[in-house]
Structure 1
Amino acid sequence: MRTVIVFNHPYEGSYCNAILGAVTKGLQKAGHQVDLMHLDNDGFNPRMSQADLKAFVAHQPTDPQVIDYNERLKKADHLIFIFPIWWDIMPATTKGFIDRVLSPGFAYDHHPRGFGLVPLLKNLKSITVITTMNKPKIMYSLLIGNLIRKVMLKSVFKTMGYKNLEWISLTSVKRVSQEKRVKWLSNLESRFSKFNSQSVTL
């Protein structure tokens, strides 16, 4: 299987980078081909320009980087996002990836009868979102309302028609012990090392 990881964190020493390492190691143990889209290292521009908007409407991307990402996503059996939660939502670069890369005519299209959307990435079996944040889980859930679940899983991918969606949320990252952070990484590596074509839901 081929897994595309969309990663967004500008600091190499971040816990997100440690997560990336653990997830990649686990997937490789499971025999996956891992294709990393490191948005920060790739210099991905999240801003939707006038030219981008015209391409969006025409279903014909013109940005070489967007076209490259599109071609690589077409081959993906599984898609994983890894990013920190900043001000209760994803970083701007991840949001820009959704806006500019997961475009109509590529990731989804309107239903021919006019009711809802239909997914176009036929190889894609599942989507996992892995996030970190410093808020406690209960605060994010009760006071903020789990925006990642609402925005990414429901408003984006479920609306597009994709299934097998999962969100792995690691909370209070700075407050927990180093031992717990290490255990989280070990659990992630183990979890993804068992991921195969017969088990698309982690």
Structure 2
Amino acid sequence: MRVTIIFNHPYEGSYCNAILETVSKGLRKANHEIDLIHLDNDQFNPVMTSSDLKAFRDKSPVDPKVLEYKEKLEKADHLIFIFPIWWELMPAMTKGFIDKVIFPGVAYDYTNKENTRMKPLFNKIKGVTVITTMNTPKLLYRLFFGNAIKKALILGTFWKIGYKNRKWISFNNVKKVSQEKRIKWLEGLETRFSSFA
């Protein structure tokens, strides 16, 4: 299986980077091929320009990075997003990736004249996994902030497009938990992705 990881965190010493390394290690143990999109290292520009919006209307992206990412996603069997949650939402680069790559004529098309029903165009992709870190307690994030990431990506974007296999793995209170717990989380991830199918 070819797994494309979309990663967004600017600090190499972050827990997100540890997650990236662990997930990659697990996937390699399971003999999966990994294609990494590192938005920070790529210096991906998340801003939708007037040219990008015209391209959105015309279903023809103009950003060279978007075209590069499109080629990678066309070969992917599964997508894994890894990013931190800042102020209850994803960082700008992840949001920009959704805005500029999950694009009509690229990632999806409409199946009716009213443009209300979508179908995916990345036909090999069988599922999407989102892995996040945050400092907000899980219960607080669910009750006060309505699991915003789950609503936006799992129940929003990827449900609308038509992907049935969608998962969200959330690590909460990351700054407050012990090093032992962080290690245990990573061990669980490695086990999970070493049997990923």
Same fold by TM (over 0.5)? yes
Give me the whole-angstrom Cα distance separating, in 1, the residues matched to 2:69 and 2:92. Answer: 18
The root-mean-square deviation of aligned C-alpha atoms, in Å, is: 0.9
Structure 1 residue 112 displacement after superposition: 2.9
Partner of 1:138: 139
Offset, 1:139: 0.6
Does residue 40 (structure 1) correspond to residue 40 (structure 2)? The answer is yes
Which structure 2 residues correspond to residues 36-185 of structure 1 after superposition, within 5 A?
A: 36-112=36-112, 114=114, 115-185=116-186
Mapped to 1, the partners of 2:159 and 2:45 lie a distance apart of 25
- SS of residue paired to 2:106: coil
Percentage identity across paired residues of the two chains: 60
Q: What displacement does 1:20 show?
A: 0.1
TM-score normalised per structure 1: 0.95
* Structure 2 alignment gaps of length 5 or more: none
User: 1:14 maps to what in 2?
Assistant: 14
Q: How many residues align?
A: 196
1:163 shift after superposition? 1.2
Amino acid at match of 1:66: V
For residues 124 and 78 of structure 1, what CA distance do their matches in structure 2 show? 5
Whole-angstrom distance in 1 between the partners of 2:58 and 2:30: 39
User: Residues 70-106 of structure 1, C-alpha deviation per residue, up to 9 Å, x if partnerless?
Assistant: 0000000000000000000111110000000110011
**d(CA) in 2 for partners of 1:113, 1:101:** 23
- Structure 2: distance between partners of 1:32 and 1:147: 31
CA separation in 2, counterparts of 1:119 and 1:57? 18
Please give the per-residue CA displacement for 1:4-50, whole angstroms capped at 9, x wherever unaligned. Answer: 00000000000000000000000011111100000000000000011
Q: Secondary structure at the match of 1:144?
A: coil
Residues in 1 aligned to 2:104 and 2:118: alpha-carbon distance in whole angstroms: 9
Give the TM-score of the pair, scaled to structure 2: 0.97
Segments of 5+ residues of structure 1 without an aligned counterpart are 197-202
Task: Give SS of 2:159's match.
Answer: helix
